[in-house]
């Protein structure tokens, strides 16, 4: 089914507390793993087309005290189509536009993805996910502005809804400043968030396909886009729901 993990905190933190619970989910998602983070405005990305528990890199990252960032995007892959897993097809994906590194990870299957036009951003691999990301970032570039304000987030929701019309779409997107999380409009699989303490004085939000451990988890509404910045939930397209008070 693939698994998504997102973290948004006000200050840099270690992701170890979340990775300890996220990594073992590779038993059902053995075809690759990836972890992206923003140590500053630039994106760092490590991924492999192997099972999380078969990788020495994943074990290192899960215990490395020097790994500190305010935003993380993680993915465990269960491929739905294609042949042998490759680095190119492993999530998350990265592209730069107008001085910002964008990161994207997807859970679901999109059909007729070639119906989505491309431009300056082209896929390296063969996945529907990377094609959708390239299409989305081209739309951002053509619009000519980053996703910095509520009007931009409402526009982004419309773009994701249009992509979602081609199939199943749960996804995480980041520009290094914010974490954007979108849940499939038909409610496929799941997506939830909760406020969590990573270290004394370091609170923020976790986003996961399924709840990690205990605590008050809030399920996303169908078709909801939530925007997290510096450990706060700034915006939800589903204003009434989504546990805005979490």
pLDDT digits (tens, 9 = 90+) for 32-64: 999 999 999 999 999 999 988 889 999 999 999
The percent of residues in the chain predicted with pLDDT above 90, rounded, is 80
Whole-number CA gyration radius for the chain: 16
pLDDT for 241 equals 43
Reported pTM: 0.95
pLDDT digits (tens, 9 = 90+) for 223-236: 999 999 999 999 99
In this prediction, residue 1 carries a pLDDT of 67
- The DSSP line for 71-97 is EEEEEE----SSSS--STTSSPEEEEE
Task: Say if CB 103 and CB 173 are below 8 A apart.
Answer: yes
In angstroms, rounded to a whole number, what is the distance separating the alpha carbons of residues 77 and 182?
18
Q: Rounded to whole angstroms, how far apart are CA atoms 53 and 199?
A: 25
Q: Residues 207, 22: contact at Cβ < 8 Å?
A: no
Is residue 239 pLDDT above 70, yes or no? no
Checking if the pLDDT of 77 tops 50, the result is yes
Reduce the DSSP state of residue 108 to 3 states and report it.
coil
Mean pLDDT of 190-213: 90
pLDDT digits (tens, 9 = 90+) for 147-200: 999 999 999 999 999 999 999 999 999 999 999 999 999 999 999 999 988 877
Identified catalytic residue from 2, 26, 103, 218: 2
Q: By percentage, how much of the chain surpasses pLDDT 70?
A: 93
**Is 2 part of the annotated catalytic residue set?**
yes
On the question of pLDDT at 90 being above 90, the answer is: yes
Task: Find tokens 């730069």 and name the residue.
Answer: 96
The tokens for 90 are: 């492993």
May I ask the CATH class of domain 3-236?
alpha beta
Best-predicted range by mean pLDDT (93-102, 194-203, 206-215) = 93-102
């Amino acid at each position: 089914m693939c698994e998504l993990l997102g973290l948004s905190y006000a200050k840099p933190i270690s992701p170890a507390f979340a990775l300890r619970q996220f990594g073992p989910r590779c038993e059902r998602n053995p075809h690759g793993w990836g972890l992206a983070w923003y140590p500053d405005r630039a994106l760092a990305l490590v991924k492999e087309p192997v099972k999380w528990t078969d990788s020495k890199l994943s074990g290192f990252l899960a215990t490395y005290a020097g790994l500190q960032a305010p935003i993380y995007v993680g993915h465990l892959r269960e491929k739905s189509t294609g042949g042998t897993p490759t680095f190119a097809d492993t999530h998350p994906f990265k592209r730069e536009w107008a001085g910002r590194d964008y990161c994207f990870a997807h859970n679901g299957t999109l059909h007729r993805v070639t119906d989505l036009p491309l431009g300056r951003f082209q896929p390296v691999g063969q996945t529907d996910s990377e094609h959708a990301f390239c299409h989305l970032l081209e739309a951002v570039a053509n619009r000519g502005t980053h996703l910095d304000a509520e009007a931009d987030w409402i526009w982004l929701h419309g773009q994701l809804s249009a992509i979602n019309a081609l199939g199943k779409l749960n996804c995480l997107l980041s520009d290094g400043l914010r974490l954007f999380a979108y849940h499939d409009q038909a409610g496929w699989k799941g997506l939830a968030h909760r406020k969590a303490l990573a270290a004394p004085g370091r609170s923020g939000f976790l986003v996961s396909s399924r709840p990690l451990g205990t605590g008050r988890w809030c399920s996303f509404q169908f078709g909801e886009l939530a925007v997290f910045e510096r450990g706060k939930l700034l915006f939800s397209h589903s204003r009434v729901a989504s546990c805005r008070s979490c």
